[in-house]
Amino acid sequence: MACAQSELRGLGRVSDLKKEAESLDRAATALRKVPHRTAKPLHAFKEESNDLGALGTLGSLLGATDDIRDGMHTLARLTHVLEEEWQAEAKLMGEVSDAFDVLDVLLAAATRGKRG
């Protein structure tokens, strides 16, 4: 009886690992797509930061133009850094997902070995 319960717990861990691996794989795939979705808006944002001449008509904002431009450049740089971090996280998540897949196979084989 105790042996059967142990095997059931082992199968539960295998199932949980498989779910975790699938979840990590989906998350990694989504993170890899981020640069494709942000490239065009980020490019447009960078371009707009160089075309702030229209603010010249707003006298109260003339002094803030350089600050706004600097802020926009900073946001663009930070977005690039964030995308690089997401890519690194996506790679790591993919590797963890692969490791979970391997562990799942090993646990299933161990469970079959105990039964056989």
Q: Is residue 26 a contact partner of residue 97, using CB atoms and an 8 Å limit?
A: no
Tens of pLDDT along 42-63?
A: 777 777 766 665 554 555 555 6
Tens of pLDDT along 64-103?
A: 667 777 888 888 888 888 889 999 999 999 999 999 999 9
Higher pLDDT, 34 or 85: 85
* CB neighbour list of residue 91: distance below 8 Å, 6 or more residues apart: 28
50: phi then psi, degrees, rounded to nearest 5: -90, -5
* CB neighbour list of residue 73: distance below 8 Å, 6 or more residues apart: 46, 49
